[in-house]
A and B are shown apart, each in its own frame.
Chain A
Amino acid sequence: MEGNIGELGQYIGVGLTAFGMGFAALGVGNVAGNFLSGALRNPSAAAGQTATLFIGMAFAEALGIFSFLVALLLMFAV
């Protein structure tokens, strides 16, 4: 198998960005889980906070998407 060392580094870097997505998944799960445990304690207040839930999930997820973007840039633009 032949190839240059730069390409090898590229692929390793792309693989490493997958960790970023994994941690983003942890973050989103954390948001959803905490929302659920709070909502089960006080169901009457939960309905008004779904918007906040989605905003929190969006922020947590955005950082995972950034790592995906880094992977894309490494794969295709570097």
Chain B
Amino acid sequence: MISLLQEAVTIAADEHTESVASSVAHGEVETATGLPQLDVTTFANQIFWLIITLLVLYWVVAKIALPRIGSVLSDRQGAMTGDLMAAEEFKLKAKEAEAAYDKALADARSEASKIVAANRAEIQKELDAAIAHADAEIAARTAESEKRIREIRDSADANAREVARDVTAELVRSFGGTVDQAAVDQAVDSRMKGALQ
């Protein structure tokens, strides 16, 4: 392929010598006569400099650039996995703390409810005692009152019976009869029984 190209170029160069000469004679800037890519006279130069450049570039890339970037990338990978692990640890810790907090909260709540229950029981007890005391007092007062009412009623009964007996005796006497004390008592009693019951 290359030799074919060379042949073509040399033929072309032969043909165009005239036009090159004319353009140089005109004092123009150097222009391309034919394809510069096919100018075999510059191939050796290009290949020489290309090989040197590639060697230098290979040395730079292989010895300096790639190891450095590779180490940076692996460092970052390491740092990232380290950070992720640390984050995981922190997450675990946070979870533990949350659990502890929850437990403390539950404890406090149960303690509070215990205290509330105790207080309530105590108050209930006091209340019960007070109610019982009050009941006892009320009962005592009621009994006393009943006793007094009964006394009053009894005395009232006796008085009424006395008055009724007196009145009966007097009525019998005014009608001219003799007063039989026993009969009067009996009559009054039988009458009063119904009224005072």
Contact = CB atoms under 8 A, between A and B. Distances in A.
Interface residues of B, number: 8
A73 interface: yes
B12 interface: yes
A77 B37 CA distance: 10
A78 interface: yes
Interface string B15-40: 00000000000000000001101100
A49 to B, nearest CB: 26
Interface centre among A73, A77, A78, by most B CB within 10 Å? A77
Interface in A47-78: 72-73, 75-78
B8 interface: yes
Interface string A5-22: 000000000000000000
Nearest to B8: A77
Contacts of B38: 76-77
Contacts of B188: none
Contacts of A76: 12, 34-35, 38
Interface in B174-189: none
Nearest to B9: A77
A73 B8 CA distance: 9
A73 B1 CA distance: 13
A78 B35 contact: no
Interface string B37-51: 110000000000000
B8 A72 contact: no
Interface of A: 72-73, 75-78
18 contacts: A72-B35, A72-B37, A73-B8, A73-B35, A75-B35, A76-B12, A76-B34, A76-B35, A76-B38, A77-B5, A77-B8, A77-B9, A77-B12, A77-B34, A77-B35, A77-B38, A78-B8, A78-B12
Interface of B: 5, 8-9, 12, 34-35, 37-38
